[in-house]
Chain A
Amino acid sequence: MTEVLIKVGFLAIVALNGAIIFTIMDVKGASWMQRRPGPLHVGLRGFIFPLAEILKFVQKEDIIPTEVDRPVFKWAPAYVMVSCVALFAVVPMSPTLVVADLELGVFFALAISSLGTIGVLTAGWSSANKYSLMGGLRAAGQLIAYELPLILAVVGVVIQAETMSLVGIVEKQIEWGVPFVVGGQIVGFLIFMVAATAEMMRVPFDMPIGESELTMGFMTEYSGIRFLIFYISEYMNMFILCAIASTLFLGGYHVPLLPTEWVNFYGPIVLLTKTAILGFILVAVRWSQPRFREDQLQNLAWKILIPASLVNILVTAIMKVGF
């Protein structure tokens, strides 16, 4: 019992703090790129900004419009949040510092990550707002389209590592001496990152939110704490997908030349550093790119990413069998 509580607490604390760190990174990255002094200087050089943001949302009224489907509307943010937090359960910070080292870890992660689609779709549907509905439908279409390249990109890693357990994948990379991104999965890594960006609904794939078109997409009618949950989940999702990407492709909690017997000490630091680097790339992309159009987005998924990931699987399989 105590062990379960500790694990749940660990999940909640790490995932939430990861989200907050990524919020700080995004906001500071944005203000740095946009030459805005506010978040760089105000309040302990901008570091207590997320706290102010959270307090602002908490104290605001949670408005529920009369026409909405109340229970569905109320529960939608929870789906999104839960799918994000549950994802982190399989991410290992060291061989032992992991909530659940599942045999089918990769499978679990991909299955859980699609749960968020339900939350987004129901949020859009139940809001009784045409903009929300369109945002919800766009999100559903996008998440389904990009789920495939995400899974197919991971298949290459699974073939190479011969295991679906995330700890096993990292151990395999330690055994190889180099992370998979160097050891033949560079295409898979790129496809994974593009698809993950689409899953997070970040620029240039932020069609479902698209504030210049759909005001705020499926979140339009949300306010107060429920909006905050969506907001935090977005960053949590970003944090966790980056963590998974660094586990699968960048060698996870280990870097070459470090002694493996100390892995429990440096593991979390290494993993978080890798995650932060990936996150920083996403921040830079977000604040420098415009947004794709809906059909261009679907074309990219079905015509480029999925064929490319299939070829990647083929090549990986041939290399595995042949050499």
Chain B
Amino acid sequence: MVNALDPQNMNSFSEASVSVEIETEDMTLNIGPQHPSTHGVLRLVAKVDGEKVHDVKPVLGYMHRGYEKLAEVRSYPQITTLVNRIDWVAGFSNEIPFIAGAERLMEIEVPERAKHIRLILTEMARISSHFVFIGAYALEVGALTPIFYAMEDRERVLDLIESVTGGRFHPNFNRIGGVKPAAGAGPTSKKNIQDLPAGFYRDTKVAMEKVIQAADQFQNLIGGNEVFKKRTKNVGVLTAETAEAYGVSGPILRASGVKSDLRTQTDYLPYDQFDYDIPVGENGDCYDRWDVRVKEMVESAKIVLQAIDSMPSGPLQAKVPKVIKVPQGRTYVRAENPKGEMGYYIVSDGGLGPYRLKVRTASFSNVSILPIMLEGALLPDLIAIMGSLDFVLGDVDR
């Protein structure tokens, strides 16, 4: 026994430092496939040390439905029903790039009016998708109320989509060469085809004003909340370089400060006729990703209002053959979907359906960034970061 009170030993005692390192093993935590905040069936295999996340591996494929393969045995008009279900939160916007690709191969010029209707509905789908995000994201950081308001506001937009197309989520409204005559338009005959339902312009104006109001309200009530800011600011920072290297697109890329929007870069819909901003974030953190989407919603509403005012008259359909056969060739059409870049690579051998259809979805690339972003994050941040990517599992797995 060493006598601690002996002055000779005091020195060595005072120098002794406490360096007890407890050997701890990382715990493997399976988040998902059944978990409240994985948006469906995403599975994350996380190695956690207490609250700290060391390593995350996303496991995909629980939602794989084989749409690319199915498309090979379907004809072109049938495929729109499949692609509707890829990103079901914004069903309408999935159809556009596919139809545009087929039209490009067939060299069909779509009437202006049909293009405008497509554009309006695409923007409405974007608004409804962002409403879901705003509500669900608040839920993920622990606020239970906003989702009810977001859903109520989204319902107005979905009602409009329904009044035109007859479907809320899966409109299946596009036809090669134009759009289908609207569902609520009353009796149609060959001579007198009505397109938009009565009162559509008026209702849309009201709804879009409400959207702008709601975005303002969310900006104040959620964006201005101190706890929300604490949870999201400087959390999950994604630099522009990393984002571009991983093929991240859409609002996530723009939140990192890259002003990239396919609506201005390509011409799949006549976006160049309208005046709108592209909101860009500064830090690339969760708050910016949230903020960019809210601002984008307002811009979408502005586009819809402009499109309604400048709606051209004319036919809804271009002249197309009764049996649609796409000539031999290949094309790639990309579009700015609510979640990011969506692209269809269509290879046609001149038959009734595509020889091969490759779908590039935004969520798949966006989810691939998760292991990088979650390195060293805390478990609550894991949920906040995952939520801010706003993916849909149907869009990841197809």
A binds B: yes
- Which A residues are closer than 8 A to B by beta carbons? 30, 33-36, 130-131, 134, 137, 203-204, 206-207, 210-213, 215, 287-296
**Complex Cα distance A290/B232, Å?**
11
| B143 CB within 8 Å of chain A | yes
* Beta-carbon nearest neighbor of A216 in chain B: B36
**Complex Cα distance A137/B48, Å?**
14
- Choose from A34, A134, A137, A213 the contact partner of B145 (Cβ within 8 Å): A34
* Beta-carbon nearest neighbor of B29 in chain A: A130
Give the chain B neighbours of A291 by CB distance below 8 A: 141-143, 227, 231, 380
B37 lies within 8 A of A212 (CB): yes
**Complex Cα distance A287/B231, Å?**
17
B138 lies within 8 A of A211 (CB): no
* Beta-carbon nearest neighbor of A286 in chain B: B144
Task: Assign chain B's interface to a size class.
Answer: 20 to 34
B35 lies within 8 A of A290 (CB): no
Task: Answer whether A215 and B227 are a contact pair too, CB < 8 Å, given A34-B148, A290-B143.
Answer: no
A296 lies within 8 A of B379 (CB): no
- Choose from B149, B152, B227 the contact partner of A289 (Cβ within 8 Å): B227
- Which B residues are closer than 8 A to A by beta carbons? 27, 29, 35-37, 50-51, 138-145, 148-149, 152, 225, 227-228, 230-231, 378-383
Give the chain A neighbours of B381 by CB distance below 8 A: 293
**Complex Cα distance A50/B50, Å?**
37
Task: Report the 4 A-B pairs with minimum CB-CB distance, sorted nearest first.
Answer: A291-B142, A290-B143, A34-B148, A290-B142
Q: Choose among B37, B143, B144, B383 the residue with the greatest number of A CB atoms under 10 Å from its CB.
A: B144
Give the chain B neighbours of A290 by CB distance below 8 A: 138, 141-143, 225, 227-228, 231
Q: How far is the CB of A126 from chain B (nearest CB, A)?
A: 17
A35 lies within 8 A of B149 (CB): yes
- Choose from B27, B149, B230, B379 the contact partner of A292 (Cβ within 8 Å): B230
Task: Answer whether A293 and B37 are a contact pair too, CB < 8 Å, given A34-B145, A212-B140, A288-B145.
Answer: no
Give the chain A neighbours of B383 by CB distance below 8 A: 212-213
Give the chain B neighbours of A203 by CB distance below 8 A: 142-144
B230 lies within 8 A of A293 (CB): yes
A294 lies within 8 A of B144 (CB): no
**Complex Cα distance A294/B228, Å?**
14
**Complex Cα distance A293/B232, Å?**
10
**Complex Cα distance A215/B27, Å?**
17
Give the chain A neighbours of B227 by CB distance below 8 A: 204, 289-292
Give the chain B neighbours of A213 by CB distance below 8 A: 37, 379-380, 382-383
**Complex Cα distance A291/B228, Å?**
8
Q: How far is the CB of B118 from chain A (nearest CB, A)?
A: 33
Task: Answer whether A294 and B380 are a contact pair too, CB < 8 Å, given A212-B142, A288-B145.
Answer: yes
Question: Can you offer 19 A-B residue contacts whose CB atoms are under 8 A?
Answer: A34-B149, A35-B148, A130-B29, A211-B36, A212-B36, A212-B139, A212-B141, A213-B37, A213-B380, A213-B382, A287-B145, A289-B227, A290-B225, A290-B227, A291-B227, A292-B230, A294-B51, A294-B379, A295-B378
Q: How far is the CB of A214 from chain B (nearest CB, A)?
A: 8
Q: Choose among A35, A206, A212, A290 the residue with the greatest number of B CB atoms under 10 Å from its CB.
A: A290
Known: A137-B50, A215-B35. 17 other contacts (CB 8 A): A30-B144, A35-B149, A35-B152, A203-B144, A204-B227, A211-B36, A212-B37, A213-B382, A287-B144, A289-B227, A290-B227, A290-B228, A290-B231, A291-B143, A291-B380, A294-B378, A296-B230
